[in-house]
């Protein structure tokens, strides 16, 4: 089985003609099953663009990207929309729908699955919120939750549809140290327990320790890769 | 980190299934809830998207939840739709009332066939035809009676305050039974006397409270043109845009008031056929018999002729159509504004939905669903308000304003289309919700 994310020679540029500004140059990156990869680097190094390409939010320009078994180069919009349903996203801002309760927000991720009944969606949303420690807050709108709680709802939403890959962009940027730590630890536990790989873009040095591997980018290139904790192989061996 | 956390009841660790060994989840049948302890596979298969109907239901529910969350905005949108709704109802009501009232006089005339000068545009502005045509029509054995009708307008002096207004005169042999208005039958004998008239009780109040005077004093004198006549009774026709009131009187009395009218110049001939005579066949024979200065019409055709004048030869039909259109445009702009600001204010959320795998089509259905919810919410109070206004305005203007199912359905369709158009316009804003700009 191929790894969830396999990038080969991915390049990307914004603008046209003389204004053309390359942001990614020949990037190769592989994320293994169950692996947590942190993408760091200065602003403008292209890490966010890379994340949007992997998340099928942007059309590819050149190179090859196989995400969850789907080749993204030349993929149509409809194919990319289908792929997005198998990827969980966590944004810098929580981006919850303000007019929905926490439970309804999580259920939104499940409404794309036609095989679930309304009852099943509500139940599963409740279970996920309990899993992120918000069992008592399921019926509150985001406005009545704290920043950390909102981001935990966003984590529950990202995990709701049992994604094959989690993409997160600065999930702790808007949070204080304690709630930031809480959210990433939660993310790590939930992802590890389900074998979901995570690709996380961050500037935040406080959360580097959750990663299996830290990939640093600069000027659109991967400049250094550091294995930090356990390797994916160790994860599999120690399981069960 | 490998400690089994109790947080996830369906976590693979709990049921002993290693992630790699987890069987691919079988596609569950529709409506079947998945077993809660089933292990999610590491790479789930592409899920079956909800059917179109189920997806539309979810989209409309999302639209409703969004609308509901901002009560003030929802109220202003509903008020806008309601405003458009009432405006269109009133314009269409006035338009229909105009056409109904303009043809009221003609509709009341009883006759199988009518002779009219082809250049007559409308009953209040008739082109005279020779009286002899009425007698010529009698040449056919099928024709039982042919009655000349005189139409003219004269001034009526208000018996209460002396002010003068134009009133429609209908001069006819009242005994012939060609004209039938409510209340006319008992007055036939009284109208045979010299200088007597029957007054239309539904005329506008500016003509004076004739009904009260009649009840108080009995038959009384009033001035029509330059002549004093006696009002002997009341009939009911109703005012039209061409005439604010009506008087029915005998041929002879008509000529006494309209002195310049030559006896031989009549305005309309009503023909009654022998029982069992074929109307169409007789019409063809009459048309062949009579010269080209008359046309032969059935009553529905005569009504249609009158109506066409108001629809085509006056700007009135256009004015009301234009008024309706303006109402719809204003309503559309209001709904568009509301939907647009809803989208603009939730761009991030919409982009998030796109990132989660919601298609553009789904989000369009959300916007369209919101538009159609507004259409429904605005139409109901608009319909109620318009029905009440019809009663109030109808009583004030003496115009026949009535709500009917056909118009209600028509206006609902227009409001629906208006909101849908606003929704389609607002959808273009969805393009700005780009998930690529989310990170």
Tokens at residue B424, please?
A: 């389609």
Q: Tell me if residue B423 falls in helix, strand or coil.
A: helix
Instruction: State the pLDDT confidence band at B378, using cuts at 50, 70 and 90.
Output: very high
Q: Alpha carbon of B157 to those of B201, B210, B212, B224, B408: distances in Å?
A: 16, 11, 16, 6, 41
Is residue B383 predicted with pLDDT exceeding 90? yes
Q: How far is A144 from chain B (nearest CA, A)?
A: 14
pLDDT 10s digits, B314-366: 787 788 888 888 888 988 888 898 888 888 888 888 888 888 888 888 888 99
pLDDT tens-place string over residues A183-209 = 888 888 888 888 889 999 988 887 888
| B53 has a chain A CB within 8 A of its CB | no
**Mean pLDDT score across all residues of chain A:** 85
- What DSSP line would sit under B6-65, residue for residue? TT-TT-HHHHT--GGGPPPPP-PPTTPPPPTTPPPPSSPPPPPPPPHHHHHHHHHHHHHH
What DSSP character marks residue B251?
H
| B32 and chain A in contact, CB less than 8 A | yes
A123 lies within 8 A of chain B by CB: yes
A14 close contact with B: CB closer than 8 A: no
Q: Is A233 on the interface with B (CB under 8 A)?
A: no
CA B396 to each of CA A68, A118, B32, B243: distance values in angstroms, whole numbers, following the listed order: 73, 54, 63, 16
pLDDT of residue B266: 92
- What is the average pLDDT across B255-263? 89
Does the CB of B348 have a partner CB in chain A at under 8 Å? yes
Q: Specify whether the CB–CB gap between B350 and B433 falls below 8 A.
A: yes
**CA dihedral defined by B199, B205, B206, B212, rounded to 10 degrees?**
60
pLDDT score for B17: 40
- Distance between CA B236 and CA A43 in Å, rounded? 86
Helix then strand count (H, E) for chain A reads: 7, 10
pLDDT of residue B175: 82
Single out the residue of A132, A211, A201, A146 nearest to residue A175, CA to CA: A146
Contact list in A for residue B12 (CB cut-off 8 A) is 193-195
**Chain A CB contacts of B4 below 8 Å:** 193
DSSP one-letter string for B263-330 = TTEESEEEEEEPTT--HHHHHHHHHHHS-TT-EEEEHHHHHHHHHHIIIIISSHHHHHHHHHHHHHHH
Instruction: Note whether B40 contacts A34, CB cutoff 8 Å.
Output: no
pLDDT at B84 over 80: yes
Question: Which tokens is B64 given?
Answer: 């409703």
Q: Residues of B numbered 63-92 whose beta carbons fall under 8 angstroms of chain A's beta carbons: which are they?
A: 65-66, 68-70
CB B170 within 8 A of CB B200: no
CA distance, residue A229 to nearest chain B CA (Å): 11
A227-239 tens-digit pLDDT: 775 444 443 333 3
Mean pLDDT of B258-280: 89
The answer on pLDDT for A50 being more than 80 is yes
Q: How far is CA B206 from CA B104, B167, B200, in A?
A: 20, 11, 13
Q: How far apart are CA A83 and CA A72, in angstroms?
A: 9
Taking an 8 Å cut-off on Cβ atoms, the answer to whether B356 and A112 are in contact is: yes
Looking at the predicted structure, is the pLDDT value of residue B249 above 80? yes
> Distance (Å) from the C-alpha of residue B405 to the closest C-alpha of chain A?
38
- pLDDT reading at B173 higher than 90: no
Q: Which residues share a beta bridge with A88?
A: A166
In eight-state DSSP terms, residue B173 is: -
Lowest mean pLDDT among A94-98, B11-15, B85-89, B340-344: B11-15
User: Nearest CA to CA, how far is B309 from chain A (Å)?
Assistant: 56
- B359 close contact with A: CB closer than 8 A: yes
Which residues of B, range 383-412, sit inside 8 Å of A by Cβ? none
pLDDT one-digit tens code per residue, A8-31: 989 999 888 888 888 898 889 999
Confidence of residue A2 (pLDDT cuts 50, 70, 90): confident
Report the pLDDT value the prediction gives residue B439, as an integer from 0 to 100. Answer: 62
Residues of chain A found within 8 Å of residue B66, distances taken between Cβ atoms: 97, 99
Q: In Å, how far is B438's CA from the nearest CA of chain A?
A: 7
* Span A3-13, pLDDT tens digits: 888 989 899 99
Q: Would you say residue B6 has pLDDT above 50?
A: no
- Report pLDDT for B47: 55
- pLDDT value at position B228? 93
Task: Give pLDDT tens digits for B121-148.
Answer: 887 788 899 999 999 999 999 898 899 9
| Average pLDDT score, chain B | 83
Give the mutation candidate from A115, A119, A139, A201 for the B interface (greatest B CB count, under 10 A). Answer: A115
On the question of pLDDT at A43 being above 50, the answer is: yes
Is residue B10 predicted with pLDDT exceeding 60?
no
Tokens of B253: 């009395």
Task: Kindly tell me if the per-residue pLDDT of B102 is higher than 90.
Answer: no
Q: Has residue A116 got a pLDDT over 90?
A: no
Distance CA B288, CA A231 (A): 107
Query: For residue B270, is pLDDT > 60?
Result: yes
Tell me what pLDDT residue B49 has.
66
In chain B, % of residues over pLDDT 90: 28
Residue B26 has pLDDT above 70, yes or no: no
Mean pLDDT of A214-230: 81
A238–B contact, CB cutoff 8 A: yes
Smallest Cβ distance to A115: which of B18, B28, B439? B28
Cβ-based neighbours of B161, under 8 Å, separated by 6 or more: B208
Partners of A58 on chain B (C-beta within 8 Å) are 436
Predicted pLDDT of residue B196 = 94
Interface test with A, best of B32, B43, B349 (most A CBs within 10 A): B43
pLDDT(B9) > 60: no
Of A128-142, B34-48, B83-97, B415-429, the range with the lowest mean pLDDT is B34-48
| B127, B120 contact by CB (below 8 A) | yes
Higher pLDDT, B8 or B61: B61
Q: Which of A48, A52, A60, A81 to mutate to test the interface with B (most CBs of B within 10 A)?
A: A81
- Mean pLDDT to the nearest integer, B248-260: 91
DSSP letter at B25?
Answer: P
**Segment 59-118 of chain A within 8 Å of chain B by CB:** 68-69, 78, 81-87, 89, 91-93, 95-100, 104, 108-109, 111-117
Q: Cα B100–B92–B203 angle (5° rounding)?
A: 40
Q: Where do we find the tokens 């568009």?
A: B336
- pLDDT > 70: what percent of chain B? 88
Tens digits of residue pLDDT in B199-235: 998 888 889 889 999 999 889 999 998 899 999 999 9
Q: Could you give phi then psi for residue A9, rounded to 5 degrees?
A: 60, 45
Whole-number pLDDT of residue A229: 55
The length of chain B, given as a count of residues = 439
Nearest to B439 among A33, A48, A133 (CB): A48
């Amino acid at each position: 089985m191929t790894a969830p994310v396999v990038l080969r020679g991915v390049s990307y540029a914004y603008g046209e003609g003389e204004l053309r500004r390359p942001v990614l140059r020949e990037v190769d990156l592989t994320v293994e099953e169950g692996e947590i990869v942190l993408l760091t680097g200065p602003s403008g190094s292209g890490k966010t663009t890379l994340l949007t390409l992997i998340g099928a939010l942007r059309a590819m320009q050149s190179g090859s990207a196989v995400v969850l078994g789907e080749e993204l180069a030349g993929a149509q919009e409809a194919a990319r929309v289908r792929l997005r349903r198998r990827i969980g996203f966590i944004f810098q801002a929580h981006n919850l729908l303000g007019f929905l309760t926490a439970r309804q927000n999580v259920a939104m991720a499940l409404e794309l699955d036609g095989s679930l009944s309304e009852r099943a969606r509500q139940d599963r949303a409740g279970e996920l919120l309990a899993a992120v420690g918000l069992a008592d807050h399921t019926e509150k709108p985001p406005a009545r939750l704290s920043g950390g709680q909102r981001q935990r709802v966003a984590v529950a939403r990202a995990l709701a549809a049992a994604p094959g890959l989690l993409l997160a962009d600065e999930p702790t940027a808007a949070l204080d140290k304690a709630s930031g730590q809480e959210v990433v630890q939660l993310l790590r536990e939930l992802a590890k327990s389900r074998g979901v790989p995570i690709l996380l873009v961050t500037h935040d040095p406080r959360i580097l320790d959750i990663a299996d591997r830290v990939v640093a980018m600069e000027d659109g290139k991967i400049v250094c890769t550091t294995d930090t904790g356990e390797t994916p192989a160790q994860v599999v061996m120690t399981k069960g | 980190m490998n400690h089994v956390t109790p947080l996830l009841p369906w976590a693979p660790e709990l049921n002993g299934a290693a992630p790699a060994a987890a069987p691919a989840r079988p596609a569950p049948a529709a409506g079947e809830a998945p077993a809660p302890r089933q292990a999610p596979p590491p790479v789930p298969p592409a899920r079956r998207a909800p059917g179109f109907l189920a997806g539309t239901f979810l989209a409309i529910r999302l639209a409703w939840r969004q609308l509901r969350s901002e009560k003030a905005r929802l109220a202003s949108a509903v008020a806008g739709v309601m405003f458009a709704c009432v405006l269109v109802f009133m314009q269409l009501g006035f338009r229909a009332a105009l056409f109904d009232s303009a043809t009221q006089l003609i509709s009341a005339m009883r006759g199988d066939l009518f002779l009219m000068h082809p250049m007559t545009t409308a009953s209040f502005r008739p082109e005279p035809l020779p009286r002899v045509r009425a007698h010529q029509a009698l040449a056919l054995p099928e024709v039982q009676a042919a009655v000349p009708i005189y139409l003219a307008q004269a001034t009526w002096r208000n018996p209460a305050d002396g002010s003068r207004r134009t009133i429609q005169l209908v001069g006819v042999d009242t005994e012939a039974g060609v004209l039938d208005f409510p209340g006319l039958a008992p007055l036939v004998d009284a109208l045979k006397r010299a200088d007597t008239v029957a007054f239309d009780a539904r005329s506008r109040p500016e003509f004076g409270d004739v009904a009260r005077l009649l009840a108080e004093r009995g038959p009384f004198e009033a001035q029509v043109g330059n002549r004093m006549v006696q009002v002997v009774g009341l009939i009911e026709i109703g005012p039209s845009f061409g005439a604010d009131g009506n008087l029915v009187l005998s041929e002879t009395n008509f000529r006494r008031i309209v002195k310049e009218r030559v006896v031989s110049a009549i305005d309309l001939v009503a023909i009654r056929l022998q029982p069992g005579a074929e109307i169409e066949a007789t019409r063809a024979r009459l048309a062949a018999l009579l010269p080209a200065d008359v046309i032969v019409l059935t009553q529905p055709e005569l009504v249609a002729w009158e109506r066409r004048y108001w629809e085509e030869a006056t700007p009135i039909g256009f004015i009301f159509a234009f008024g309706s259109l303006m109402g719809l445009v204003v309503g559309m702009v209001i709904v568009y504004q509301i939907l647009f600001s809803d989208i603009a204010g939730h761009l991030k959320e919409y982009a998030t939905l796109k990132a989660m795998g919601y298609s553009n089509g789904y989000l369009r259905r959300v916007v369209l669903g919101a538009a159609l919810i507004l259409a429904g919410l605005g139409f109901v109070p608009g319909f109620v308000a318009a029905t009440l206004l019809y009663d109030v305005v109808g009583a004030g203007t003496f115009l026949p304003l009535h709500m009917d199912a056909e118009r209600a359905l028509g206006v609902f369709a227009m409001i629906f289309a208006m909101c849908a158009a606003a929704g389609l316009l607002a959808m273009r804003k969805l393009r700005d919700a780009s998930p690529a700009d989310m990170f």
